[in-house]
């Protein structure tokens, strides 16, 4: 390589920047490691396209910030203007600084006529995940209005398919797969939170890519406000993936000397399918200094047990049973604060209700701690009911156009956290609650979209999101041991921006284990299991109405940050015994579950097979989703195992269903265990039992 080229290489991933251009560097390659000794001139010669008649002499190629000055006719990297002047930037590089370890580069560029500069920071971490951030600065004497700044990288033309996600409340992360066609596929959220239908990742891949095969390229914007993720294929033949914050008109206006920094946009490549992509993301997250370092406590959340019916004696009884089955963290959900008897009032008044709790929460907190459990509390700081002291006394604290009556959603409005008075009130209340009760954990909820969000006379989602981040950061700095969960009507705020400030997400308000199989499978594409809350709910699921067996509910919750959300004071002795065994199994296996590699088999729609694999051990779950159409069940080919290691495969009895009365197990199941090399388990596989829909087989593997 020469000094006209920058090569970033980590963990089998590679990015090559071509500096031999008068404008911003071009991206010659993003994908697999090219190895040492690649000649710069030769690589440039094969990467820059030829041209047909009528095309410009210097064919357009994607730069770090695609611009029309480069001949780019697709979506632009930077949009904005100073009044009406300079609607298109011609950014020329003025400095390139490569990190001493070769893992990052910073490119400074400037348009001297427009008086705008941009610093582009690229860091390829040890997991092979690339983080890209642009910081635009107004160097002129007048205001500069930012229209948008996106992070964009090219993908090769054999990226033939796209994967993204849709969803709704109670059923998040529904995969959508389509051809990568000419034109632009733009996925935009304007909900003021990432949303139930947020893409999580936008993935481009080679034809037929799956969990364990194919090349894939993914992008994710780490931001909890408005975002855009797009895949574009222009007529010249180039294809790109891009993402960034989506700004409303006039939302960010820079005064002289002010800067706008994009959120970190995460780009990830894999040559081993979606499992390889998630493995890189999981390794990247696990390497953070802020990543949870202690075993993830088994949780009981009181919501589906008591709802708003708070009573000290009832709560103590629930805590007693929780401790007896092995729960380690007791979380009091909605209903504890001033005037909160239902969802019509009280939200925003973050004081313990003296009518419900005349001695405060101390009697319950002391009882919970006497049983050896941590104590957690539900809050929704960004929201308020019209029927609340906060709104009655401070109607100007709402995030809305003051000339209009705001639209209610779930009988609540959004408070303007960017308002200094609101910020100070929320920080004081939360700080005092956490300090007075030595709270270990906050379930931080966010139960509505931000519609017509106006702050100080202009669009306010950007400032609201930044203010919420500051509030979380300040609260954690005051209480370093405090853990926080990001909940938003379930999984409507799941992104790497909020994860930088929280310790897990609530993947869905539905505890239906069949729906959860898909919700958790696709949420774990972005996040490792220890960051995904997964609870055992009641047999009759409150959200979906489906009735399921306890073994499936326990097995599903095992593959996450496990918990219970159920009035277990009404459980039978047999149910409590199974819960106790499950809790012990979770504690025994969580060192593997929360550090190992998540693997998923490519199966049909009738069943799923997934697991977590570590050195010399693994856990897998096979779940029947539909009635089998064949007499013989499928073979369970277990991915991700060490081919040279012989494993002893044992069903976990308390996490496996009893076979239907008419069914006969395969021979290996009748014997209770089998020992086979990893290569055999991956290629020949195990004969599955004949399960009915909603039944599960859970397997533990240990090296012999």
pLDDT digit string (tens) for 547-599? Answer: 999 999 999 999 999 999 999 999 999 999 999 999 999 999 999 999 999 99
Superfamily of domain 601-703: Golgi alpha-mannosidase II (2.60.40.1180)
Helix (H) / strand (E) containing 514 = helix 513-523
The structure tokens 């055992």 sit at 536
**In this model, does residue 1 exceed pLDDT 60?**
no
CB-based contacts of 350, cutoff 8 Å, min separation 6: 337, 338, 379, 381, 426, 429, 430, 433
Higher pLDDT, 176 or 605: 176
pLDDT digit string (tens) for 607-656? Answer: 999 999 999 999 999 999 999 888 888 999 999 999 999 999 999 989 99
Average pLDDT value for residue range 171-183: 97
Q: Would you call 275 a catalytic residue per the annotation?
A: no
Answer for the pair 6, 25: CB distance below 8 angstroms, yes or no.
Answer: yes
Structure token pair of residue 178? 């389509």
Q: Rounded CA gap, 269 and 278, in Å?
A: 10
In the chain, where does the domain assigned CATH 2.70.98.60 lie? 5-286
pLDDT digit string (tens) for 318-364? Answer: 999 999 999 999 999 999 999 999 999 999 999 999 999 999 999 99
Q: Would you call 349 a catalytic residue per the annotation?
A: no
**In this model, does residue 132 exceed pLDDT 90?**
yes
The DSSP-derived string for 290-359 is TS--S----EEE-HHHHTT---HHHHHHHHHHHHHHT--EEEE-S--BTT-SSTTB-TT--SB-TTT-TT
Q: By three-state DSSP, how is residue 240 classified?
A: strand
Percent of the chain with pLDDT over 90: 87
Structure token pair of residue 542? 């409150």
**In this model, does residue 57 exceed pLDDT 80?**
no
User: At the top level of CATH, which class does the domain 5-286 belong to?
Assistant: mainly beta
Higher pLDDT, 488 or 47: 488
Residue 685 pLDDT: 97
Q: Among the options 111, 333, 353, 445, which is catalytic?
A: 445
In the chain, where does the domain assigned CATH 2.60.40.1180 lie? 601-703
The structure tokens 């921006």 sit at 497
Answer for the pair 332, 338: CB distance below 8 angstroms, yes or no.
Answer: no
pLDDT digit string (tens) for 263-297? Answer: 999 999 999 999 999 999 999 999 999 999 999 99
pLDDT range class, residue 37, cuts 50, 70, 90: confident
Structure token pair of residue 546? 């489906």
Q: Among the options 275, 334, 509, 515, which is catalytic?
A: 509
Higher pLDDT, 93 or 462: 462
Mean of pLDDT over the chain? 95
Lowest mean pLDDT among 51-60, 221-230, 302-311: 51-60
């Amino acid at each position: 390589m020469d000094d006209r080229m920058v090569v970033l290489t980590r963990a089998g991933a590679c990015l090559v920047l071509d500096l031999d251009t008068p404008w911003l560097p071009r991206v010659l390659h993003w994908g697999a490691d090219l190895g040492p000794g690649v000649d710069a001139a030769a690589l440039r010669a094969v990467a820059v396209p030829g041209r047909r008649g009528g095309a410009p002499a210097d064919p357009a190629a994607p730069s770090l910030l695609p611009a029309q000055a480069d001949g780019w006719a697709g979506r632009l990297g930077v949009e904005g203007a100073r009044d009406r002047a300079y609607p298109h930037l011609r950014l020329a590089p003025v400095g390139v600084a490569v990190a001493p370890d070769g893992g990052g580069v910073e490119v400074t560029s400037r348009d001297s006529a427009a008086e705008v500069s941009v610093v582009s920071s690229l860091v390829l971490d040890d997991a092979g995940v690339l983080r890209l951030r642009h910081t635009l600065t107004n160097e002129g004497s007048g205001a500069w209005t930012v229209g948008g700044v996106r992070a964009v990288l090219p993908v090769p033309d054999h990226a033939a398919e796209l994967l993204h996600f849709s969803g709704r409340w109670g059923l998040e992360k529904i995969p959508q797969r389509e051809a990568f066609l000419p034109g632009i596929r733009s996925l935009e959220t304007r909900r003021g939170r990432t949303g139930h239908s947020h893409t999580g990742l936008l993935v481009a891949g080679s034809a037929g890519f799956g969990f364990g095969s194919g090349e894939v390229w993914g992008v994710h914007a780490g931001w909890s406000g408005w975002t855009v993720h797009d895949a574009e294929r222009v007529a010249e033949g180039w294809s790109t993936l891009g993402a960034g914050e989506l700004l409303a008109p006039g939302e960010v206006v820079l005064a002289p000397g002010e800067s706008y920094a994009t959120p970190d946009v995460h780009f990830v490549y894999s040559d081993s399918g979606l499992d390889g992509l998630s493995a890189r993301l999981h390794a990247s997250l696990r390497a953070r200094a802020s990543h949870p370092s202690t075993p993830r406590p088994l949780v009981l959340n009181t919501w589906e047990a008591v709802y708003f019916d708070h009573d000290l004696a009832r709560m103590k009884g629930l805590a007693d049973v929780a401790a007896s089955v092995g729960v380690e963290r007791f979380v009091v959900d909605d209903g504890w604060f001033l005037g909160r008897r239902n969802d019509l009032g009280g939200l925003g008044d973050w004081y313990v209700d003296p009518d419900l709790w005349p001695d405060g929460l101390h009697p319950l907190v002391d009882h919970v701690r006497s049983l050896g459990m941590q104590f957690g509390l539900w809050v929704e700081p960004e929201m308020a009911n019209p029927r609340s002291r906060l709104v009655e006394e401070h109607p100007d604290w709402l995030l809305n156009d003051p000339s209009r009556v705001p639209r209610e959603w779930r009988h609540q409005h959004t408070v303007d956290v960017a308002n200094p008075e609101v910020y100070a009130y929320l920080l004081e209340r939360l700080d005092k609650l956490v300090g007075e009760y030595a709270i270990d954990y906050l379930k931080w909820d966010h139960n509505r979209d931000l519609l017509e969000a106006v702050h100080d006379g202009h669009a306010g989602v950007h400032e609201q999101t930044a203010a919420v981040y500051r509030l979380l950061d300040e609260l954690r700095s005051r209480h370093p041991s405090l853990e926080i969960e990001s909940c938003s009507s379930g999984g409507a705020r799941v992104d790497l921006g909020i994860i930088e400030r929280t310790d897990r997400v609530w993947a869905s308000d539905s505890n239906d284990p069949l729906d959860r199989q898909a919700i958790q499978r696709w949420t774990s594409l972005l996040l490792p299991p220890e960051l995904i809350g997964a609870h055992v709910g009641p047999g009759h699921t409150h959200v979906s109405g489906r009735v399921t067996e306890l073994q499936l509910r326990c097995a599903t919750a095992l593959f996450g940050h496990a918990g219970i959300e159920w009035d277990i004071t009404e459980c039978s002795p047999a149910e409590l015994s199974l819960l106790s065994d499950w809790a012990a199994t979770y504690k025994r296996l969580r060192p593997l579950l929360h550090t190992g590699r998540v693997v998923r088999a490519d199966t049909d729609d009738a069943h799923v097979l997934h697991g977590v694999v570590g050195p010399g051990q693994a856990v897998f779950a096979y779940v029947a989703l539909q009635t089998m159409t064949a007499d013989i069940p499928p073979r369970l080919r277990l991915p991700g195992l060490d081919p040279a290691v012989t494993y002893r495969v044992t069903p976990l009895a308390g996490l496996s269903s009893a076979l239907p009365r008419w069914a006969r197990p395969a021979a290996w199941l009748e014997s209770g265990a089998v020992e086979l090399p990893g290569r055999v388990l991956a290629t020949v596989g195990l004969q599955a039992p004949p399960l009915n829909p909603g039944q599960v087989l859970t397997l533990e593997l240990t090296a012999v």
